Amino acid sequence: MKLRKLIFIATFFAIPAFFWAIRVSPDLLRRDSAVVRLEKSSEVRDLNREKIHQRDDLQKRWELFEPIANRELQNLENDLNPHLLQKRLVLTAQELGFDLSIRQLNVNPDDPKTWFVEAESSFGQIDRFVNQLERGNYRVRFDQIEVSLPADQYENGDGVHLEGILTIPVLHGDQA
C-alpha cells in the first residue's frame, strides 16, 4: 500500500505540475514580449518628448524670426520690382539689337525708384522698344522721354538717340 500511496501522492503533485508547466511556458513568452513592448514604448515616449522639445524650440525660434520675415516680405515688392524691371528693359533692348544704359537717379531709399535710361539705335527699333515696354506685360511708363533725330544720320536709320526717365511707383500689397 505504500507504493499505491506513493504513486497517488506523486500523481497528485505531477499532474498539477505538468499543467502548471504547460500553462506557465506561454505566460513566460507573453511576459518577455510584454517587457520588450514596454522597453520600446519607453523609447517611443522619450523620442516623443524630444520631439515636443524640438517643436517648442522651433516655435520660439519662429517667434523671434517672424517679425524679421514679415518686414522683409513687406519690402519685397519695393526691393524686387525695380530689379525685375531693369532686367526687362535690358532684355527688351537686347532682343531688338541695341545696348541700353540705366542709371539710378534717386539716392533716398524712401523715394520711388527713378532711373535715367539712354539708348541709341534706329528709329524703328527705338519705337518698338518704347511700344513693347508701354504695352507689354510690365507696363513701363516713362515720366519723361526724349528722342533725338539727327538730320545727317537719320537717312541711314541709325543714330536715333533715346533719353528717358522712368519711375517705379511704390506698390502696396493690395495693389499688386
The confidence score (pLDDT) of residue 63 equals 92
The confidence score (pLDDT) of residue 60 equals 93
Residue type, 70: N
The confidence score (pLDDT) of residue 1 equals 65
* Residue matched to cell numbers 505538468: 18
Please calculate the CA angle 43-47-51 and round it to the nearest 5 degrees: 170
Phi, psi (5° rounding) for residue 111? -75, 155
Domain ranges of the chain: 77-168
Handedness of CA 7, 10, 15, 21 (dihedral sign): negative
Segment 86-106, tens digit of pLDDT = 888 888 889 988 888 888 887
When pLDDT is cut at 50, 70 and 90, the band that residue 78 belongs to is low
Which range has the worst mean pLDDT, 24-28, 47-51, 160-164? Answer: 24-28
3-class state of residue 139 by DSSP: coil
The CATH number, out of the four listed (3.30.70.60, 3.10.20.30, 3.40.50.300, 3.90.228.20), of the domain defined by the range 77-168: 3.30.70.60
139 or 119, which is more confident?
119
When pLDDT is cut at 50, 70 and 90, the band that residue 25 belongs to is low
